Amino acid sequence: MPDAPDVLEIEALRRRQALMDRAGERVGSSLDVRETAQSIADLLAPSVGAAAFVDLAEEVLNGDEPPRHDAVEPRPRMIRTAAAGDYPSDRLDIGDVVPMPAELPHLREVFVEGAVVLERRHAGDNLHRSVDPRLARRLLPPGTESRIIMPLRARGLVLGVAVVVECREEWAGDEDDLRQLSLIASRAALAVDNARRYEREHRTAVILQRQLLPSTTTDTTAATTFATYLPAGRRNVGGGDWFDVIPLSSARVALVTGTVAGHGLRATATMGRLRSAMGTLAVLDLEPDELLTHLDDLVQRLDAESGDDVQRVRAACTYLVHDPVSGHCVAAGAGGTAPVVVPPGGPATLMPMRAGPALGEGGAPFEVSEWDVVPGTLVALYTRGLLDVVGAGPDDDPADLLPGMLQRASGTADGRRQELSEISADVLRNVGPEGPPGDVVLLTGYLKTVDDAHTAHWTIPARPELVASMRAAVSKQLNEWGLDDLTVMASELVISELVTNSVRYAGGSLEVRLIRTGHELVCEVSDPASTQPRLRRARTTDEGGRGLFLVAQMTERWGCRYSADGKTIWTEQSLAAPELNHPTQG
């Protein structure tokens, strides 16, 4: 008959099993590397010893693959990541580099062989005899009796070490104890490696998203803008929010914010594709509702290509166009948030824009909202993540609080308007160092207008004999603006060719407009025809066909946009020496 189990053996089994149970509950519940390291330290102290600390390879903290240590040279660079329990105040602090001198005991056993090392007696004194006493004092107090060093090893790589000092008497260090500690170390290493992989994905998604987003500041004729993008905290990887400021023809500008549903690299990649498509559609001068319709078709196609019936491709966005000449704004939304407008002196207004269905849903058409603004009006576009961080109470609607927050943030005691960066910082002051729960984008801008003194407009019938008089009127206006002779001559040629082209192919009444900004001259000719002007190469024997080719050579950009009653051909010419007084207000 076998001997009955010893009471001490049963107690040891219970002790080891209890430690393993606590490891299953505590270690691995977080996808943050530092939180995982702290859970390991909290598990080991005071259960195994009076104090514990965890040192991780610098690469692991950055989300990278740790180096393989087949030899003790080069020595690993370890960072003190977590600590628990009672130990002297002159210890290494969290974030400090852990010294790894060549004469450090057990270096090979831990990093090359991956063995759990137990020093039962005089651990501190032995260390002080091996390395410089000042260095040893930071690693271990001289009076320390016992120490356990546990390599955190996963996939054959040492991610770091967990160290326990002043071990409890019941952890005598027999073979069963060492085997149990080795199992604990393996489980802890897998949790650290899982968090490291998550950290790498999070960091990659954030870096990729920042690379796919435009500059945070712009200053155009139509608006001065500042954008803030805050990625979601590590507990909730973001990746799908974006913003854009797109220069359009005739000094206009489009402001965009949007969100792709989902998280991680897939959402980031989809965001990049949508932003690129929106930029291409925007320069075609489509109306906001028509642009969102085309973008909706694209999202539906991306959804069909993905073949994923669970995680559907969906997006929301707000698209706003501001015309600085007329001071007019048009906007449309696809499941997006309504812009906030704050005129100088207030009051702030949440614009009554119907959001429409999200991109990818299809069905209902998108609706356009329109309003006029005065110079210096503050406009704010944002994604829904902002509403989670504005500090609303349980009974408050964050969307209702946002206009008041922006109005207070934009004004000062002396009546001066705040910088856009200061406004954004004020609105986002509730976001802690751990980051927001979801991606946040806040795009703010002061809208400008071009004053009447720097625009000119004529309406003429489409008759060939009026081309010369139109050319003379343009020349006179440009000379009054003080532009150089080269710009005047080029503009005469451009207007002459565009008016002649409209007289020949469109007829009806023609509208001619000049817009002079601080750095460019815009020439426009509008006619009632909807035919598309095309640039072609004329043969040497052709008598005509070179008009648009000459226009393209004399200007920086040219294009055509359509409206309900015809089209407008526009050109842009750079002004070599703009005046000091910028011809915009705001």
Picking from 221, 223, 222, 262, the residue whose alpha carbon sits closest to that of residue 241 is 262
The answer to the question of residue 123 being in a domain is yes
Mark whether 460 and 445 lie in a shared domain.
no
Mark whether 400 and 503 lie in a shared domain.
no
Q: Which residue has the tokens 């260095």?
A: 135
Number of domains in the chain: 3
Mark whether 158 and 38 lie in a shared domain.
yes
| pLDDT per residue as tens digits for the range 237-274 | 566 899 999 999 999 999 999 999 887 788 888 999 99
- CATH number of 20's domain: 3.30.450.40
Mark whether 445 and 459 lie in a shared domain.
no
| Boundary of a domain, candidates 426, 450, 474 | 450
Rounded to an integer, what distance in angstroms lies between the CA atom of residue 533 and that of residue 416? 48
Q: Which of 100-104, 260-264, 451-455 reaches the highest mean pLDDT?
A: 451-455
Q: Quick count: other Cβ atoms within 10 Å of Cβ 41?
A: 21
Crossing angle, helix 485-505 and helix 467-480, to 10 degrees? 150
Angle at 368 between CA 365 and CA 372, to 5 degrees: 180
Do 440 and 431 meet the contact criterion of CB atoms below 8 Å apart?
yes
Residue 542 has pLDDT above 60, yes or no: no
Domain containing residue 334: 213-450
Mark whether 429 and 309 lie in a shared domain.
yes
Q: In which band, very low, low, confident or very high, does the pLDDT at 373 lie, cut at 50, 70 and 90?
A: very high
Least confident range of 256-260, 299-303, 472-476, 546-550: 546-550
Mark whether 469 and 356 lie in a shared domain.
no
Least confident range of 128-142, 424-438, 547-561: 128-142
The answer to the question of residue 208 being in a domain is no
Amino acid (1-letter code) at residue 222: A
- CATH number of 228's domain: 3.60.40.10
Q: What is the DSSP letter of 148?
A: E
Q: In which band, very low, low, confident or very high, does the pLDDT at 546 lie, cut at 50, 70 and 90?
A: low
The answer to the question of residue 180 being in a domain is yes
The answer to the question of residue 197 being in a domain is yes
The average pLDDT across 114-125 equals 81
- CATH number of 466's domain: 3.30.565.10
Mark whether 512 and 425 lie in a shared domain.
no
Share of the chain above pLDDT 70, in %: 90
Amino acid (1-letter code) at residue 198: Y
Q: Which pTM does this prediction carry?
A: 0.78
Q: In which band, very low, low, confident or very high, does the pLDDT at 323 lie, cut at 50, 70 and 90?
A: very high
Amino acid (1-letter code) at residue 74: P
Do 524 and 538 meet the contact criterion of CB atoms below 8 Å apart?
no
* pLDDT for position 152: 92
The answer to the question of residue 1 being in a domain is no
Q: In which band, very low, low, confident or very high, does the pLDDT at 446 lie, cut at 50, 70 and 90?
A: very high
Share of the chain above pLDDT 90, in %: 40
Residue 410 backbone class (left: φ over 0; alpha: ψ -120 to 50; beta: rest): alpha
| Boundary of a domain, candidates 423, 450, 477 | 450
Mark whether 473 and 422 lie in a shared domain.
no
The answer to the question of residue 2 being in a domain is no
Do 252 and 222 meet the contact criterion of CB atoms below 8 Å apart?
yes
Mark whether 437 and 514 lie in a shared domain.
no
Average pLDDT, whole number, for the chain? 85
Mark whether 445 and 462 lie in a shared domain.
no
The answer to the question of residue 243 being in a domain is yes
The average pLDDT across 53-72 equals 83
| pLDDT per residue as tens digits for the range 550-574 | 888 888 988 899 888 899 999 999 9
Mark whether 398 and 250 lie in a shared domain.
yes
| Boundary of a domain, candidates 428, 450, 472 | 450
Mark whether 387 and 457 lie in a shared domain.
no
Residue 224 has pLDDT above 80, yes or no: yes
Do 575 and 492 meet the contact criterion of CB atoms below 8 Å apart?
no
The answer to the question of residue 511 being in a domain is yes
Q: Which of 28-37, 207-216, 276-285, 577-586 reaches the highest mean pLDDT?
A: 276-285
